[in-house]
Amino acid sequence: MKPDLFEAPDYYNIDDLLTEEHKLIRDAARSWVKRDVSPIIEEAAQEAKFPKSIIPGLAEIGAFGPYIPEQYGGAGLDQISYGLIMQEIERGDSGVRSTASVQSSLVMYPIWKYGNEEQRNKYLPKLASGEWMGSFGLTEPDHGSNPGGMVTNFKDKGDHYLLNGAKMWISNSPFCDVAVVWAKNEEGRIHGLIVERGMEGFTTPETHNKWSLRASATGELIFQDVKVPKENLLPNKSGLGAPLGCLDSARYGIAWGVIGAAMDCYDTALRYSKERIQFGKPIGQFQLQQKKLAEMITEITKAQLLCLRLGQLKNENKATSAQISMAKRNNVDMALKIARDARQMLGGMGISGEYSIMRHMMNLESVVTYEGTHDIHLLITGLDVTGLNAFK
């Protein structure tokens, strides 16, 4: 792969709206990605292997639980810092950002918000340091966009719960130490359970043959009469709103993260357009290529402003789920379109692993699907503005 020459675009001087702390945190993550992710990520993606060697580095830049209080090992940062860290990591690779998102928003967040003090103290510090890695089991083979239909269930057996069912498309599953699993009790109410590797009847087979997020490990979570201790049930929230609360936090991180992927594609295409000569001119001098670049930087700038405002609302606890949906949908679509245009601008080189664009493009095909598909987020916005529910 080519050396990482990335220079972040900031067309509207958005840096002026960030605090010194935001910029320090962002720049630390940016340097780490350049030093520790860029040199290894293409090979990891080609080999379809999650590069476990980067786990301590992710912990060091605060990517595991950026907004979790320091007393539990988190970084205790605000929501804009969280977003900026996700942006920088996804600039390197969406798969690496997925690992961090799952750990922070889908594993640490529910333990912090819905767990009790013993659970927080037992799990959060180890998850923040990367000593333990987590996964989040919501999606099932027959229930993706409609997780409320899940069939994974647990029964009260007196001194323990008996868990049965299967989850699929689970990021981090093949190597996770703990899984936050959503299952129905005998009354059909959804609860979160913390399942630990080593519990009898719990297996995590890997899913192979992915063309997307190849540097992220994906798999199943299978439960066959797993005895889960009663103290592993998350006591403070139940119902579908519990997993959806986690998804709000993760979707917010995605809205920022994909700006990173888009910036990397834009920056690569811009540099290439000045160096590549055809018909005696740099291709960047042709109007058709300028149109692509001009539209890319416009869309990136709009996405940056959208996220910054959403981050301010999140910091004030005012961001609604529907506002987060809009940002996730808009920004992923923006990044995917930029990746496709940038890939074309590199001609044949655009499909080569020498450059990051094709990897970003393939990764974003998962990002546009997980955590609520593009269509589902449109329906959420539609419901929010009309008050009419298209899901029913």
Give yes or no for a contact between 229 and 160, defined as CB atoms under 8 angstroms apart. yes
Assess 195 for contact with ligand FAD (CB under 6 A).
Answer: no
Retrieve residue 228's tokens: 């889960």
DSSP string, 9-68: --TT-GGGGS-HHHHHHHHHHHHHIIIIIHHHHHHHHHTT---GGGHHHHHHTT-SSTTS
Is 371 catalytic? The answer is: yes
For residue 218, state whether it binds ligand FAD (rule: CB under 6 A).
Answer: yes
211 near ligand FAD, rule: CB under 6 A: no
- Beta carbon nearer to ligand FAD, 171 or 325: 171
Which pair of tokens denotes residue 263? 């910036």
- What's the one-letter identity of residue 166? A
Among positions 99, 152, 171, 304, the unique one binding ligand FAD when judged by CB under 6 A = 171
Minimum distance, C-beta of residue 212 to ligand FAD, in the bound complex (Å): 6
Cβ proximity to ligand FAD, 87 vs 173, nearer residue: 173
Interface pick for ligand FAD out of 65, 336, 366, 368 (rule CB under 6 A):
366
Q: What is the nearest approach in angstroms of ligand FAD to the Cβ of residue 79? A: 21
Q: Following DSSP, what letter does each residue of 253-312 receive, concatenated?
A: HHHHHHHHHHHHHHHHHHHHHHH-EETTEEGGGSHHHHHHHHHHHHHHHHHHHHHHHHHH
* Dihedral angle sign, alpha carbons of residues 260, 212, 48, 325: positive
**Residue from 169, 223, 252, 355 binding ligand FAD (CB under 6 A):** 169
Least Å from the CB of residue 146 to ligand FAD: 6
Residue 137: name the closest of 82, 185, 176 by CA.
Answer: 176
The yes or no reply on residue 144 touching ligand FAD (CB under 6 A) is yes
With a CB cutoff of 8 Å and minimum separation 6, the contacts of 20 are none
Q: Using the rule CB under 6 A, is 376 a contact of ligand FAD?
A: yes
Stretch that binds ligand FAD, among 29-37, 132-140, 279-287, 342-350 (CB under 6 A): 132-140
Q: Which is nearer to ligand FAD, 11 or 391 (CB)?
A: 391
**What does the longest C-alpha to C-alpha distance in the chain come to?**
79
Query: Per rule CB under 6 A, is residue 375 in the interface with ligand FAD?
Result: yes
Nearer Cβ to ligand FAD (170/339): 170
Distance (Å, rounded) from C-alpha 168 to C-alpha 74? Answer: 28
Residue nearest to ligand FAD (CB): 144
Of 134, 65, 99, nearest in space to 370 by CA = 99
Write the binding mask 51 to 90 for ligand FAD: x where contact by CB under 6 A, - elsewhere. Answer: ----------------------------------------
d(CA 64, CA 73): 9
Number of chain residues interacting with ligand FAD (CB under 6 A):
21
Of these, 102, 190, 259, 357, which contacts ligand FAD (CB under 6 A)? 102
Q: What are phi and psi of 93, to 5 degrees?
A: -170, 135
| CB of 120 vs ligand FAD, minimal distance in Å | 22
- Our finding on whether 223 is near ligand FAD (CB under 6 A) is no
Q: Interface with ligand FAD by CB under 6 A: which residues?
A: 102, 136-139, 144-145, 169-171, 213, 218, 366, 369-371, 373, 375-376, 379, 391
Q: Which residues are catalytic?
A: 371
